[in-house]
Structure 1
């Protein structure tokens, strides 16, 4: 399988895309023509890029990875949000592990799941889930 990276950016009402892996010599020396195309909607870029790749290569076994060029402020916000989500998921995983440890410790001391739920401010179902792992 051949993987083609496609770069797409907003160009007026269109999404223009380029496929840097597909080039051919231009009539002017020292220049190359890069395979390009357009789509009306961002969601159509991958399909349109596949069509262009098919015209250039006749390779039926391809994967298209589209990278959208976003304005700097948007790119920064999206990157920051992804970092925060990752840190948040890690914090939730750590919190669950600590609760699991607390539940196991209390269970080893003979407390019932109902008592543990009351002590830790959890539902009985959550205590049961944490006990099962």
Structure 2
């Protein structure tokens, strides 16, 4: 209890943050593990807090509920950061797709830069904007855009 001017005031605490992992088992369930929450089993082994959810959309709340029950606190006193683990093949494909997308952005930026440089080179060589447009098969408006 904390008194301020004779009034009992609850002290506010920052919620405790925990990290969990969620992965799909062979069945339809998502398994949730919170490695930070452990206890010692009867034979001396370590027991890790494990829970489950049927749908991925329910994993965050299930992880909070699991941690709250394990710690015997209200679920508003904890934050659980859940990392969803994909099967290795899908994770590899996703990472490769992201890498390919980044390369394509870089290639598109390089292509745009080269187009601007080509237009500038042609204009500096004495061609008019109309001539550059005709030579490159573009509109005069597009050449104007590439010139700036």
TM-score of the aligned structures, taking structure 2 as reference length: 0.62
Q: Deviations over 1:64-119 (max 9, x none)?
A: 1323231x43333223222222222221222222223334545666844x665554
Give the aligned partner of residue 64 of structure 1: 81
Question: 1:44 — aligned with what?
Answer: 58
Q: Deviations over 1:10-30 (max 9, x none)?
A: 34121112122222222221x
CA RMSD of aligned residues (A): 3.2
Q: Which structure is richer in relative contact order (CA contacts within 8 A, separation 6 or more)?
A: 1
State the structure with more CA Rg: 2
Shift in CA distance, 85/24, structure 1 to aligned 2, threshold 3 Å: same
Count of aligned positions? 129
Do the aligned partners of 1:116 and 1:127 also contact (CA within 8 Å) in 2?
A: yes
Query: How do 1:90-129 residues align onto structure 2 when only pairs under 5 Å count?
Result: 90-106=106-122, 111-112=128-129, 116-122=132-138, 127=143, 129=145
Q: Which runs of 5+ in 1 are unaligned?
A: none
CA distance 1:77–1:123, shift in 2 (3 Å):
farther
Give the TM-score of the pair, scaled to structure 1: 0.67
1:85 is matched with 101
